Amino acid sequence: MAKATALPGELRHRPFTTYESRAAGVPRKRLRAKDLLGTGRLIHVPAGVRPDLLERSRVLTKATPDAWVSHETAALLGGLGLPFWLAGEESVHLSKPHGLPRVRRDGVVGHRVHVYPQEITDLDGIPISTPARTWLDLAHRLPLQYVVAMGDQLIRVPRERFEGRSEPYAFVPELARMIRRHPNMKGVLKARLALEDMRIGADSYPETFLRLAMIEAGLPEPELQIRVDPDEQWSPPADLGYRRCRLAIQYEGGHHRSRAQQTRDNLRDEVFINAGWTYFKTNAEDLAEGFAGVIERIRRARRRAA
């Protein structure tokens, strides 16, 4: 049995490939020591290390030429989010070009896809589907409202001071071109339908679900990121509402529990209330009932304002 000499520092606390061990000067026989676990061809994990999704994705792509992270894994690593019945999956989704064999490894879901170079990007050295391509890959698995909601997250204008970027992940014409490039792909019809319902201004999935529920209930389509004074950039926006009725609706997710966010929320609430607007707050309980209660309250408020 090989003696467990110390591994180089850069390999001690993460999974690594045989190629990386060679580049670091690790003798081949060292890879047979008991303190290393073999988790598939060309991959080694130091005992006691529990790699997270990012590290597993990194080492799997290193050990699998021509593969990139895609589908559910790309959505999670890229911050697009997934419904709860998909978000807990442990397997890593890897894609290869359609002409190559599907990846077959334990803990991997392999895909063979038609892809264009601009549909693959890089995340901390990991090849990964672009957010736009990830959206299209997942369209066949997600209900239409989730395809719309994920699409809203692609085209929303980010807040640079909070997110470190100022450009959307994608623009509607870009998504339309991608759909045209893949006319026979599973889910492309659903993606095309979702594109018609996507809107810039929804900052979260629940905001999209609220808007879609309001429209489904027969209410007019609301304005997004509505302000008391639309010409004043410092006027705090509510998530959606109706200007003519002076009615605003805010969805309060988990991030609203922070002290800094509550301060901003209180200022926004005061601006709308002091201006005489009808102002509703919704939360996860409203989401769980499909927003039925708040939609009825909106109906009554609109009737009173008519």
pLDDT higher at 36 or 221: 221
Indicate whether 231 pLDDT > 70: yes
pLDDT per position as a tens digit, 237-276: 999 999 999 999 999 975 556 666 777 888 899 999 999 9
DSSP 8-state assignment for residue 32: G
The whole-model pTM stands at 0.90
**Six token digits for residue 244:** 């003519």
DSSP 8-state assignment for residue 31: G
Between strands 108-113 and 92-97, the pairing is: parallel
Give CA torsion, residues 48, 52, 54, 55, to 10 deg. Answer: 10
pLDDT per position as a tens digit, 145-170: 999 999 999 999 998 887 888 899 99
pLDDT per position as a tens digit, 38-53: 778 899 999 899 999 9
Nearest-angstrom CA–CA distance, 208 and 178: 23
User: 141: buried, middle or exposed (CB in 10 Å: 19+, 13-18, 0-12)?
Assistant: middle
Nearest-angstrom CA–CA distance, 208 and 291: 12
Which of 275, 277, 271 has its CA nearest to residue 248?
277
Which runs of E-coded beta strand occur in the chain?
16-17, 36-38, 43-46, 68-69, 92-97, 108-113, 120-123, 126-129, 223-226, 238-242, 247-251, 278-282
pLDDT of residue 219: 97
Indicate whether 1 pLDDT > 60: no
Nearest-angstrom CA–CA distance, 164 and 166: 7
3 pLDDT tier (thresholds 50, 70, 90): low
Fold designation for 205-305: Endonuclease; Chain A (3.40.960)
Residue located via tokens 């004043």 = 232
Query: In the chain, what are the domain boundaries?
Result: 9-51, 54-197, 205-305
**Range name among 76-85, 219-228, 238-247 with the lowest pLDDT average:** 76-85
Q: Using a pLDDT cut of 70, give the percent of the chain over it.
A: 96
pLDDT of residue 258: 61
